[in-house]
Amino acid sequence: MPETVTGAQKGTKKGTPGEHPMADTLTIIDNRTEKDFEYPIMYGTYPEYGAAIPAKDIRAIKATETDFGMLCYDPGFTNTASCKSAITFIDGEKGILRYRGYPIEQLAEKSNYLEVAYLTLFGELPTKDELDRWTYDVTHHTYLHENMKELMAAFRYDAHPMGMFVSAIAALSTFYPEARTIDDPEIRIKQIQRLVAKVGTVAAFAYRHSRGLPYVYPDNELSFAGNFLAMMYRTSEAKYEPNPILEKVLDVLFILHVDHEQNCSANAMRAVGSSHADPYCSLSAAAAALYGPLHGGANEMVLRMLREIGKVENIPGYIQRVKAGDFRLMGFGHRVYKNYDPRARILRELAPEVFKVTGTNPMLDIAIELERIALEDDYFVSRNLYPNVDFYSGIIYQALGFPVAMFPVLFAIPRTAGWLAQWLEMLQDSDQRIARPRQVYIGYDERKYEPIGKRD
Ligand code: ACO
């Protein structure tokens, strides 16, 4: 009979933070020692998601009294819950995305970006007064210090806007040294207002720089999305009037990109923030994570693919090559969604609205036909490959006049609210400590240093 070790906490009736009716525990038997270990199972809001055992207690599993203890090997954290979170819920099998419990479809239809940012950051939909105050505060923090203009102007004429964005956000920390006092709630909120407000200005300045155009200052009379369009595109007109349909579509695009729980960039925000770096430097690190093509760059690949296909008649041949394994269908498939990405569905409906204003684009016809054929094809159906958000976002961004290099920057603007929500939640969670994973060391045992003349 194995000996039972309960040092690894005996199971309890209730896991934290949610309650679960069963007296659930997990028992692990160590065949090396024949001891078994019992762990309480912790649940989130839904028992079928997020059941976890405390990884630190696994350390009690030891082959000998003196060994370090058992670790979990999990490259890329694909099966590690790094936190408890109440911000975003995703059910990839069913194609569900909710911020603070509200379905993304309802938010996209009824809300606006600044309200969704408020909801994501502070947990509840604002009252009218709260929303007015928040909108006022964000609107009145969109200006950048004039020195920031000089800093942006110092980049090479062909600097990638995302490189400029990442650097400029980090540079902002030097203007607000009080931001380092991360345990003061008022100071934290001030930095949140500044960051949500200023990312749009930084992004637009990066674009104007790459075009050799003068920077356009924010217009406080416009909406968040309208002001961004003005800072991007205003030329000699005294007052830039954004097209209301395009302004609305951009606002919806912002809503769809606010948060997506513990992805690579949210994890970077939390990891850097866990060292108590100020929010500007932490957010710059998160934006750097987003810059990578495996995270924020797939919509560019979709555009290239649609251009390569060229016309609707070429689609069946292209699909054959995908099925033969020559390449993947860009904008299809997702690590989490094994159903239609709900964000893609919203964008698919919005795309024709955009093209009514901007003029038709043959790429939309190719995309819709490609989707239709793929969704009827057993290769894609059997693998649960559905369009993801990037399938339509690139086509819409392009119709709105954004160059491809701006796509990750456009992603970073609204994701700033999500990153800051993750940061705030991390700072307020007493379970959180500095991010410091372990490793399984596979290098040499101790070796003797040889002088250079004695080495082979
Ligand atoms: N086209 C054709 N086949 C595909 C595709 C695709 N887009 N995606 C996956 N498959 C196939 C794989 O070849 C594999 O087939 P097999 O079982 O015969 O070997 C099967 O589906 C499972 O594929 P995995 O790579 O295991 O799926 P995973 O979940 O790891 O990949 C990923 C997800 C990376 C997004 C993948 O679907 C892909 O490469 N898609 C195209 C790129 C893309 O659109 N990325 C954007 C993602 S959304 C975002 O990041 C915001």
Residues 194 and 254 placed together within one structural domain of the fold? yes
Q: What is the C-alpha R_g of the chain?
A: 25
Whether 269 contacts 285, CB under 8 Å: yes
| Residues 148 and 16 both lie in one domain | no
Residues 397, 300 share a domain: yes
| Tokens encoding 209 | 């720089």
For the stretch 371-391, pLDDT in tens is 999 999 999 999 999 999 989
Answer yes or no: do 65 and 96 share one domain: no
From the CA of 322, give the closest atom in ligand 1: 2
Whole-number Å distance between alpha carbons of 39 and 54: 8
Q: 333 C-alpha to center of ligand 1: Å?
A: 5
Q: Which of 26, 48, 77 is the last residue of a domain?
A: 77
Identify the pLDDT of residue 364: 85
Q: Does residue 188 fall inside a structural domain?
A: yes
Residues 121 and 216 placed together within one structural domain of the fold: yes
Residue 334 a catalytic site member: yes
**CATH label of the domain that carries residue 406:** 1.10.580.10
Give the residue, out of 295, 306, 321, 332, with the most ligand 1 atoms within 8 A of its beta carbon, to mutate for a pocket test. 332
How much is the pLDDT for 16?
A: 45
For residue 1, tell me if it sits in a domain: no
Residue 189 Cα to ligand 1 midpoint, Å, equals: 39
Q: For residue 346, how far is its CA from the centre of ligand 1 (angstroms)?
A: 21
pLDDT at 443: 98
**Res 204: pLDDT:** 98
Per-residue pLDDT, 451? 97
Closest C-alpha to ligand 1, atom 49: 295
- Give the pLDDT score at 10: 38
Strand partners, 35: 3, 30
Task: Indicate if 89 and 73 belong to the same structural domain.
Answer: no
145 catalytic residue (yes or no): no
For residue 445, tell me if it sits in a domain: no
From 77, 93, 111, the end of a domain falls on 77
The whole-number pLDDT of residue 23 equals: 63
Residue 7's pLDDT is what?
Answer: 41
Distance CA 26, CA 28 (A): 7
Identify whether residues 73 and 108 lie together within a single domain: no
Using the CB atoms, write b or e for 397-430: b if 16+ within 10 Å: bbbbebeebbbbbbbbbbbbbbbbbbbbbbbeee
Whether 20 maps to a domain, the answer reads yes
Pair 347, 382 in one domain: yes
Ligand 1 — pocket residues by CB below 6 A? Answer: 298, 322, 328-335, 383, 385, 388-390
CA nearest 146: which of 227, 226, 205, 62? 205
Point out the catalytic residue in the list 334, 378, 445, 456.
Answer: 334
Tell me the best of 334, 341, 393 to mutate to test the pocket of ligand 1, counting ligand atoms within 8 Å of each CB and taking the most.
334
Indicate if 210 and 317 belong to the same structural domain.
Answer: yes
Q: Is 295 a catalytic residue?
A: yes
The number of folded domains in the chain is 2
Residue 16 lies in domain: 12-77
Residues 104-153 pLDDT 10s: 999 999 999 999 999 999 999 999 999 999 999 999 999 999 999 999 99
Encoded tokens for 53: 């055992």
Residues 106 and 41 in one domain: no
Same domain, 166 and 265: yes
Residues in the chain with pLDDT values less than 50: 1-2, 4, 6-18, 20-21
Would you say residue 245 lies in a domain? Answer: yes
Decide if 441 is inside a domain.
Answer: no
Query: Do 141 and 121 fall within a single domain?
Result: yes
Residue in 160, 295, 365, 377 annotated catalytic: 295
Q: Give a yes or no: residue 68 inside a domain.
A: yes
Please indicate, yes or no, if residue 446 is contained in any of the structural domains. Answer: no
**Domain end (from 77, 103, 123):** 77
The pLDDT of residue 296: 83
